[in-house]
Amino acid sequence: MSIAQLSADLHAAAPLVGASLLACDFANLRQEIRQVEQAGVRILHLDVMDGHFVPNISFGLPIVEAVRRTSDLPLDVHLMICEPGCYLKQFRSAGADLITIHVEAVPDPRPVLEEIRSLGAGAGITLNPPTPAADVEACLDLCDLVLVMSVMPGFGGQEFDPAAVDKLCRLRAMAGPDVLLSVDGGISLETVGPCAAAGADLFVAGTALFSQDNYGRFVDEMTGLAKSFTDARV
């Protein structure tokens, strides 16, 4: 699928709940993926951590490859790593449809974003809570996705930082309607509404999703809340 078609499909399906697999039961990875697919999740989010850029180690290429073999859903691969440009080809080959890098991890994100696009993947930029929205303004023309971190990256289950709402508003205005605006960190039934009202399209849920007894009910409730706030915004 082309970048343009993927972007169009995701925009058409928004608001979207993305499943952050970092919080799933890895002993039952295939089953967990099947359950979130059946629940109506339209995109899988994979957090790759190297223990240097963030103070944690998660998983790498073998897990991305395994998820790709298991699911046809788009894979949103979030590289929380130093020197992400060194691994773009490998993650694209492993099955990444979207590759997101941190603006804090590279001196100039533009060449990295250009390379992601040249590999046929959607290009994303993300920024940590202390990083101002202005730091990504110069590269928004190369972005298919902008991810606002509403917690400091590294660990799941953290509390949502409400400062992310203002940042979402600013980035929605800066990026325009054609860029998919995503938010990750502490996303739940309590925080999805303000994020949707601020302009978010994609809501990455990890602990809040995988702690549920009924994934489908949670995704329906999240999507319904997001849609009501999105419709009110329009």
Catalytic positions are 47, 184
Residue appearing with tokens 């997001």? 226
Residue appearing with tokens 């773009």? 88
Residue appearing with tokens 């978010």? 200
Q: Is 155 helix (H, G, I), strand (E, B) or coil?
A: coil
> Residue 97: how many CB atoms within 10 A of its CB?
20
Question: Regarding beta strands 98-102 and 180-184, do their DSSP bridges make them parallel or antiparallel, or are they unpaired?
Answer: unpaired
User: Encoding tokens for residue 98?
Assistant: 């979207």
Whether the Cβ atoms of residue 97 and residue 7 lie closer than 8 Å to each other: no
CA distance 129 to 231: 27
CA distance 227 to 234: 10
Amino acid identity of residue 77, one-letter, is V
